[in-house]
Chains A and B, each alone.
Chain A
Amino acid sequence: MAKKERAEVNDIDRSMYDFRYEEKDQDFYKIQEGLTRKIVEEISDKKGDPQWMRDFRLRSLEIYNEKEIPQWGPSIEGLDMSNIVTYVKPKTKMTADWEEVPEDIKNTFEKLGIPQAERKSLAGVGAQYDSELVYHNLQKEVADKGVVYTDIESALHGPYADMIKDHFMHLVPPTDHKFAALHGAVWSGGSFVYVPKGVSVEIPLQSYFRLNAPGAGQFEHTLIIVDEGADLHFIEGCSAPKYNIANLHAGCVELFVGKNARLRYSTIENWSKNMYNLNTKRAIVEEGGTMEWVSGSFGSHVSYLYPMTILQGAHSHMDFTGVTFAGKGQNLDTGAKVVHNAPDTSSYISTRSISKDGGASTYRSSVVINNKAKNAKNSVSCQSLMLDDISRSDTIPAMDVRTQQADVGHEAKIGRISDDAVFYLMSRGISEEEARALIVSGFADSVSKELPLEYAVEMNNLIRLEMVGAIG
């Protein structure tokens, strides 16, 4: 009998992200490794924090020291905070003029295609290099509508200072978990976006986070407020070159979606495979508002990533579309959380995960429907594809329903490429190789079709599903 060989899917080609420039001491300020009160105070001094923020950082540090590391997810034993540099500042000021960005940093972002994307398809761009924003720009016509898009430090000292104080880490308090507390203590960089009432930003804004320093942590904070009836698409991109020592990303994203407003938050995360990605994202949605998440997780050594949505207002809605690709040496624990707190709320979660070459992916979610959420509706669909017998794929979905007047549906499937589907396609004249390639690329299609064309292309470049199956 002819031996049937397993169709293979190549690993993500991430060489385009692995270039790096050696950081020269004279160009960068680096804080001492580890996490102490002195280090937190030094970061606060460097950033010129107002007193409330300084106190907030120190209180967060205390919470960090008290909190235990979670025991339910992938191991983060390889992460030693005493070796992590929590603050690396390029010795340059943030600018809105691309030509003023230092040459090496500019070259990095040029290679990542950021300025080109800005020219072609974005209303505004923020670029963070290590711990600080180096470039931030917003198109004049968008700014003229009253849209604010700036780095969060500037906002902290400018006319929006009170707004920042009223929202900063209110959705994700430092008590939430150990790495939220860490973020509260050493956060640096990130973006602040305010879209005024009724304003629709028709082309997306993007922040790109590049962590270049070996052994460093990146703790950017993204705060977006979309006021009543407004509309925004925000794109977040992240990458880092690969080092042999652990890097840490513990960012925090807080999104406030006003009455009848809509926010789409798209992420293509492609951290290097030495990265511990312990990121926290949360949105609260008022009456009639819509929150849409599009999430592609491709990089990092270990990820804990579960964007959470609190549907606080009646008739609010959440959509989550995610794809996770776990290759060799990766353990990606991803999913979504939703809390229905109001009547007539609805949510839909659709995820795809692919595991290959010894990678492990876990879909983890929670759906909570509280007693007030009469007529709430939720639907979850998660599918996992195992591409070889040395990989791992788990699904751990939790549902907590506390009212009779709710409808919740959940379905999940784990398996390999269906022989029946391959047979069907082959019976239509397609070769086995092509059939398998078609099935795998179609599997991740639900996310790429949700992205703007340029980003869908980037994602497809990331996946680069090359099938080399053979028959006989």
Chain B
Amino acid sequence: MENNTLLINAMPAPTYNWLRMNDATVKVPSDITEGNPMVTRSHEVSVGACSYEEIKDIPGGMGIDMDNYIQKSGADVLKISPGKGQKVTSPVKIDFNFVKDENTVNAVYIDASDDSDVTVIMDYSCVKELSGFAAIQTKVRIGKNARVLLIQIQRLGDKFRFFNDVASRTDDGGSFEEIQLVLSGKETYQGSRTDLYGKGSSLKTDIGYLLRGDEHLDMNYIANHIGRKTLCDIKVDGVLRDEAFKLFRGTIDLRRGAKGAVGNELEDVLLMDDNVINQTIPVILCDEDDVEGNHGATIGRLDDDLLFYMESRGMNKEEVYEMMAKARIDSVVAKIPDEETKSLISKYLEEK
């Protein structure tokens, strides 16, 4: 039963309404249950639960409606909290393997104390035919000089609807790195917001997507530079095939007082079939002069010369396309420091 409407992925600075890129209005189910992920971790790191109240003050990329939806579900928040100075050597893995046609909600909180270091890998998967719905929100608090690497892999079926929201805030010298791969899923809404409060804190985002069929991906990424000398680097690499649709909104907000801040944003999109739709809106808001903001986007097809070269070596066009699509995703996968996760993705891409 779908009787809730959410306004999500709203851009901080909207533009012409006729483009229909400012936000998304979506229906979500009201009959939801808490999902049951499997957590694998070493004994070094503490994993427990907390109430949503504890994370309410960290806003996410999908917006307040998503917060309210998750909170109203009453789901417990899975809390991962590396202690002060703790360097967690092996990644914490959270596997969301959806097995039933049901609607689930989960919240995760990574509370990284000062000087700690942790990698969290979240894997979303299901059998191909499953037509469920899941909404997952991950909130991250990064203490002084702490580092959190969040890796999210989406390997869902082509009937599955998925909402994935990330929220983070950094203290002085804190570093948040996120790697996200969207490899399938009928309809995906994804948001991420990082508030760079602490002096010298940083955000590094790498996103890869490979969409086929009529898959739909709607993204909203926001980096708010609040502290001095904060850095952000958002890199998006994607491939669109068949009749896939993708909308990427990326906002770097260089706020007054963020002296010495640098924000970079770049999207490369490879369009591989003639009925794809690609929408990109890379925004820089700047209220401070002692900053640097750069954004770029390249959207296009395979280079004719490259295609000709490959074909002259005996590959047919379809094989070249497949190879180039995988190569683009591989460039993001290569940044994942966990070999087991890398091979999981490689296997998935080979079978897909």
Q: Does A398 touch B at the CB level, under 8 Å?
A: yes
**Chain B residues with Cβ under 8 A from A200's Cβ?**
none
Q: Which of A410-439 contact B (CB under 8 A)?
A: 410-416
> Which one of A387, A394, A407 has the highest number of Cβ atoms from chain B below 10 Å of its Cβ?
A394
With A389-B256, A408-B297 in contact, do A398 and B15 touch (Cβ < 8 Å)? yes
Q: Does B3 touch A at the CB level, under 8 Å?
A: no
Q: Does B289 touch A at the CB level, under 8 Å?
A: yes
Q: When the two chains form their complex, are residues B300 and A371 in contact, meaning their CB atoms are under 8 A apart?
A: no
B: number of interface residues (CB 8 Å): 42
Closest to A375 in B: B301
B53-61, B270-278, B309-317 - the one binding chain A: B270-278
B42-50, B125-133, B188-196, B280-288 - the one binding chain A: B280-288
The one of A397, A409, A414 in contact with B291, judged by C-beta atoms closer than 8 angstroms, is A414
Q: When the two chains form their complex, are residues A413 and B289 in contact, meaning their CB atoms are under 8 A apart?
A: no
The one of A71, A410, A415 in contact with B297, judged by C-beta atoms closer than 8 angstroms, is A410
A388 to B259, CA, bound (A): 12
Q: When the two chains form their complex, are residues B274 and A403 in contact, meaning their CB atoms are under 8 A apart?
A: yes
**Chain A residues with Cβ under 8 A from B16's Cβ?**
72, 337, 364, 366, 398
Q: Does A279 touch B at the CB level, under 8 Å?
A: no
**Chain B residues with Cβ under 8 A from A410's Cβ?**
280, 282, 295-298
A: number of interface residues (CB 8 Å): 39
The one of B273, B286, B290 in contact with A393, judged by C-beta atoms closer than 8 angstroms, is B286
With A70-B17, A389-B290, A398-B21 in contact, do A409 and B301 touch (Cβ < 8 Å)? no
Q: When the two chains form their complex, are residues A72 and B22 in contact, meaning their CB atoms are under 8 A apart?
A: yes
Q: Does B65 touch A at the CB level, under 8 Å?
A: no
**Chain A residues with Cβ under 8 A from B279's Cβ?**
398-401
**Chain B residues with Cβ under 8 A from A402's Cβ?**
276-278
Q: Does B299 touch A at the CB level, under 8 Å?
A: yes
A273 to B252, CA, bound (A): 30
Q: Does B1 touch A at the CB level, under 8 Å?
A: no
Q: Does A391 touch B at the CB level, under 8 Å?
A: yes
Q: Does B13 touch A at the CB level, under 8 Å?
A: yes
With A71-B14, A389-B290 in contact, do A408 and B298 touch (Cβ < 8 Å)? yes
The one of A71, A396, A403, A412 in contact with B296, judged by C-beta atoms closer than 8 angstroms, is A412
Q: Does B31 touch A at the CB level, under 8 Å?
A: no
Q: Does B293 touch A at the CB level, under 8 Å?
A: yes
**Chain B residues with Cβ under 8 A from A413's Cβ?**
292-294
Nearest CB of B to A297, in Å? 18
A154 to B277, CA, bound (A): 47
**Chain B residues with Cβ under 8 A from A412's Cβ?**
282, 284, 293-296
**Chain A residues with Cβ under 8 A from B306's Cβ?**
none
The one of B13, B278, B296, B301 in contact with A394, judged by C-beta atoms closer than 8 angstroms, is B13
Q: When the two chains form their complex, are residues B301 and A397 in contact, meaning their CB atoms are under 8 A apart?
A: no
Q: Does A386 touch B at the CB level, under 8 Å?
A: yes
**Chain A residues with Cβ under 8 A from B297's Cβ?**
399, 408-411
Nearest CB of A to B284, in Å? 5
Q: Does B254 touch A at the CB level, under 8 Å?
A: yes
Nearest CB of B to A161, in Å? 32
Closest to A363 in B: B284
A440 to B235, CA, bound (A): 31
Q: When the two chains form their complex, are residues B293 and A414 in contact, meaning their CB atoms are under 8 A apart?
A: yes
Show 14 A/B contacts (Cβ-Cβ < 8 Å), sorted by A: A364-B16, A394-B284, A394-B286, A397-B281, A398-B280, A399-B280, A400-B21, A401-B277, A402-B276, A408-B298, A408-B299, A409-B300, A412-B294, A415-B291
Seen from chain B, the residues whose Cβ lies within 8 Å of a Cβ on chain A are 13-17, 19, 21-22, 254, 256, 269, 271-301
Instruction: List 20 additional contacts besides A407-B299, A408-B297; criterion CB under 8 Å.
Output: A72-B17, A371-B275, A386-B291, A387-B289, A389-B256, A394-B283, A397-B281, A399-B279, A399-B297, A400-B19, A400-B21, A403-B274, A407-B301, A408-B299, A411-B296, A412-B293, A412-B294, A414-B254, A415-B292, A416-B290
Seen from chain A, the residues whose Cβ lies within 8 Å of a Cβ on chain B are 70-72, 337, 364, 366, 368, 371, 384, 386-389, 391-416
